[in-house]
Structure 1
């Protein structure tokens, strides 16, 4: 089945215009959709909007959007009012600047889309844009009206095509200082740092997303299959119990076991909270790590 484009238009760079189409690069999460069922009848349950005070159903014609002000006043917005505030789209991705890929802060990256040529005669121009971005190792910052909002996108060369990623606004990002304000600022002992560096060196691997597993999705699929076939339900696999020990002791234990060629105890990372000590060889990035500098992506 052919993939349907989410948006069609053109990308403009100065006087150069190339017809393009956007395709979702990431599928919606979850492959198993669960419905709400009436246990007594086996029928699916439908949702109704009810008045919070009277408890009566509210007909679609009586439903209207509203905004509650800080003073508790309600401002009603009709569909025509909202439509008037929605910017008109001219189906154009206008490039305003080029930034080095190395300068892009990943915290600003939102949702990726594949950007493909939308006309047979646009392939040559599309390839020229791709090769230029790849050769210069830069990304194009562009603006367009997408899905009723003015969005800023970052267009980068990726595996022979282009990826256009919508960007988060600056006001959406919470300052890292707020998240890490409770962590004490003190120097760690040098021997602890050396132990951590040794463990990182021994566990160094490659980034391979094919090895990542959604354990919840797999367990849910096994549960559905067992129920449908009338088989005994699969037993859950609990995580190993966590025995709280000092982090430094856990690192020392992990390093000692690695030096002897023995497998690292499975509970060490959970005991001391150091995932890197016992995690898989895959180098998995995390947004919950140390705070990064907040550089704008354009």
Structure 2
């Protein structure tokens, strides 16, 4: 059963408006999570804010956000002041402008959400906006308050719906020039590239989400199940998978990889 939408509002483009709902495209509900416990009593531990100077607990109603201004001095901001700089309407996706679909690099994309019409009346308007972007090869740019923060968002037609991506802000993206390899890198040998291309070809498979299952999740579940049955679980032997501590010739390694790949395929 599809989860309930976590956001409902309206999608707006000029005079075209329709009711929409949005759901995160990814989920972490299946991920194993832990509580902090007291080993002595077996009870859960409760975390509470405390005054850094006096050590006394601070009640929720006395909490306020502070911006450091040097030393032990802070500028205090009330919730009303923070709300005053947010968008006037938090439940309208008003598409402000459009850009070519391939113009925004992957590094700007943050979190995806599925956007769908929320009632029968708005389905036609939703389809018009979606197909107009698809026909022009563009994506829409808007602003929206999500997760208690204002985000720039990108709207991309996908299938019968629209995917809404939150975008990273400029100060959140590092300059790739400081981290990518320098231009003065050696040119690889063409034969090495050809051989490695053959290895890649031998390992090509159709995409399947099972390729990226989390092995740690399965191991943790195994430990938990073993403890539930009150039987100790054998420790994992990692020595067999430890990498060899030596350097080999790249051509020999490529030939060995290709031979191994062919053997597995056979």
In the superposition, the TM-score normalised over structure 2's length comes to 0.85
The reply to whether residue 190 of structure 1 matches residue 193 of structure 2 is no
The reply to whether residue 18 of structure 1 matches residue 18 of structure 2 is yes
Instruction: Call closer, same or farther: CA 1:247–1:146 in 2, change over 3 Å.
Output: farther
Residue 245 of structure 1 corresponds to: 247
Residue 262 of structure 1 corresponds to: 263
The reply to whether residue 175 of structure 1 matches residue 178 of structure 2 is no
Residue 221 of structure 1 corresponds to: 221
Q: Aligned to 2:125, what secondary structure does the other structure show? A: helix
**CA–CA distance in 2 between the matches of 1:45 and 1:208?**
40
CA contact (8 A) 2:22 2:116 kept: yes
Residue 163 of structure 1 corresponds to: 163
CA contact (8 A) 1:88 1:145 kept: no
Uncovered stretches (5+) of structure 1, i.e. residues with no partner: 265-298
**CA–CA distance in 1 between the matches of 2:190 and 2:92?**
55
Residue 41 of structure 2 corresponds to: 41
Residue 3 of structure 1 corresponds to: 3
CA contact (8 A) 1:140 1:154 kept: yes
Instruction: Call closer, same or farther: CA 1:35–1:65 in 2, change over 3 Å.
Output: same
**CA–CA distance in 1 between the matches of 2:193 and 2:67?**
52
Higher mean C-alpha displacement, 153-162 vs 142-151: 142-151
Residue 130 of structure 1 corresponds to: 130
CA contact (8 A) 1:86 1:148 kept: no
CA contact (8 A) 2:50 2:56 kept: yes
CA contact (8 A) 1:8 1:22 kept: yes
Instruction: Call closer, same or farther: CA 1:211–1:54 in 2, change over 3 Å.
Output: same
**CA–CA distance in 1 between the matches of 2:56 and 2:90?**
43
**CA–CA distance in 2 between the matches of 1:73 and 1:10?**
42
**CA–CA distance in 2 between the matches of 1:142 and 1:134?**
17
> How many residue pairs end up in the alignment?
262
Uncovered stretches (5+) of structure 2, i.e. residues with no partner: none
Residue 275 of structure 1 corresponds to: none
Higher mean C-alpha displacement, 77-86 vs 212-221: 77-86
Instruction: Call closer, same or farther: CA 1:174–1:72 in 2, change over 3 Å.
Output: farther
CA contact (8 A) 2:153 2:164 kept: yes
Q: Aligned to 1:50, what secondary structure does the other structure show? A: coil
The reply to whether residue 202 of structure 1 matches residue 202 of structure 2 is yes
Residue 93 of structure 2 corresponds to: 93
Could you list the per-position Cα deviations for residues 162-193 of structure 1 after superposition, in whole angstroms to 9, with x for gaps in the alignment? 11111111221111222235796222222222
Instruction: Call closer, same or farther: CA 1:75–1:246 in 2, change over 3 Å.
Output: farther
CA contact (8 A) 1:226 1:232 kept: yes
Q: Aligned to 2:3, what secondary structure does the other structure show? A: coil
How much has 1:13 moved relative to structure 2? 1.7
**CA–CA distance in 2 between the matches of 1:156 and 1:104?**
12
Residue 65 of structure 1 corresponds to: 65
Residue 150 of structure 1 corresponds to: 150
Q: Aligned to 2:153, what secondary structure does the other structure show? A: strand
CA contact (8 A) 1:223 1:234 kept: no
Could you list the per-position Cα deviations for residues 27-73 of structure 1 after superposition, in whole angstroms to 9, with x for gaps in the alignment? 13652221111111111000122233333323334432211125663
Residue 76 of structure 1 corresponds to: 76
Q: Cα RMSD over matched residues?
A: 2.6
